[in-house]
Amino acid sequence: MPGKSPYPAELRRRAVRMVAEVRPDYPTEWATINAVATKLGIGTAETLRAWVRQAQIDEGGRPGRSTDESAELKRLRRENAELRRANEILKAASAFFAAELDRPHTHS
């Protein structure tokens, strides 16, 4: 359940748990998700459906990128971007100092 959510993590976990617990009481998974979302005051059932799907991925019951993998990928992308910026700064500095060395020195 990545990203910033207006819903506390505990509410998200509880909602996902409730969907699993009351699933036999409803004809379809979507009906279950709609009912639980309404009971808990979650904005849309689609929000809860996404949480359920992500929980299934995290538990290994569904293919996809887990929450931990997504967080690691995000961290690595951020680190990569930072290293690229640092590399560009070093290249610019190197070119600047190389130009300084090529200029003849004049004494006044």
Tokens describing residue 97: 């100092």
Highest mean pLDDT among 6-10, 29-33, 101-105: 29-33
* pLDDT, position 99: 75
Q: How far apart are CA 70 and CA 51, in angstroms?
A: 14
Q: What is the distance of C-alpha 98 from the center of its chain?
A: 42
Q: What is the per-residue pLDDT across 29-62, written as a single tens digit (0 to 9) for each?
A: 999 999 999 999 998 999 999 999 999 999 888 8
Q: What percent of the chain has pLDDT over 70?
A: 91
* pLDDT, position 3: 57
Q: State the sign of the Cα–Cα–Cα–Cα dihedral 66, 68, 74, 76.
A: negative
Q: For the chain, give percent helix, strand, coil, nearest 5.
A: 75, 0, 25
* pLDDT, position 4: 72
Indicate if the pLDDT at residue 71 is higher than 80: yes
